[in-house]
Amino acid sequence: MNRLITILSCLLLLTCQQSKNDKSKINAEMVSQEAQNTEIPNVDNAQDTLINTNHYLIIGNKSAEIKIIDESEEATYPDYNFLNSYGHDVIIGKDTDQVEIYRKYSPQTTFEDFPAEIYHGPLADPDFSTNPEAKQFISRIKEACANGINFAGHYTMVIWGCGTSCQTGVLVDRKTGKIFDGLITSLGSEFKKESNMIIKNFGAIDTSKNLIEVCAYCEVTQDIWTGSGFKPIE
């Protein structure tokens, strides 16, 4: 009897070992098959810093060839593809499947460099005879003027949307009531009542990184209100 029990135990042990070996073989085959099905990244297409200057940061596939040229030079590079532009700069390239173009935001001037004296006298109502077309937005303009001065010492800046990525508006001189046109942006603006300066397309700036992702309508400019229109700061 003891001998029979010993024989049965050995057979059971051999059966369990075979089952374990079979499972190990199956798992090994599955791992091998998964490895075959996994796509190996192409090292040549890995993202890399292509250009990092005082003005631009460009990231893309390592095989890309990028140039930043003046707009007047574009015709001299017929073999390059147009990627984007910013101001008078044109970014062109070859083999540019994945390229991200950023302009570094490093302004040389601040709102404090262009101070405006705050007017404390009686506020004139908007005079629509000075700009008859502004009557189309009479309610909006009157509502904004009720909130007082918000720009350049004695003006009320009134802004409304004019479509996708488009804002326009008027300035009302609160000393005289005269209404001025001339404001148009794509991505909003930043301004203060104690300054004559405005930052157009302020919304394009990633303020946490001071980067502007370049696009067709993302150019950020700093302008000065002259009393009759906006003038870019050189």
pLDDT in tens, 164-197: 999 999 999 999 999 999 899 999 999 999 999 9
Cα(200)–Cα(167) distance, integer angstroms: 10
Cα(131)–Cα(148) distance, integer angstroms: 20
In the structure, what pLDDT confidence band is assigned to residue 98 with cuts at 50, 70 and 90? confident
Report whether pLDDT(108) > 60. yes
* Predicted local confidence at residue 174, as pLDDT: 98
* Predicted local confidence at residue 46, as pLDDT: 62
Report whether pLDDT(117) > 90. yes
98 close to 173: Cβ distance less than 8 angstroms:
no
Report whether pLDDT(23) > 90. no
Cα(76)–Cα(184) distance, integer angstroms: 33
Tell me what the mean pLDDT of segment 28-53 comes to: 53
| Exposure on the CB side of residue 218, measured as CA atoms within 13 A | 18
Cα(120)–Cα(175) distance, integer angstroms: 10
Cα(30)–Cα(202) distance, integer angstroms: 54
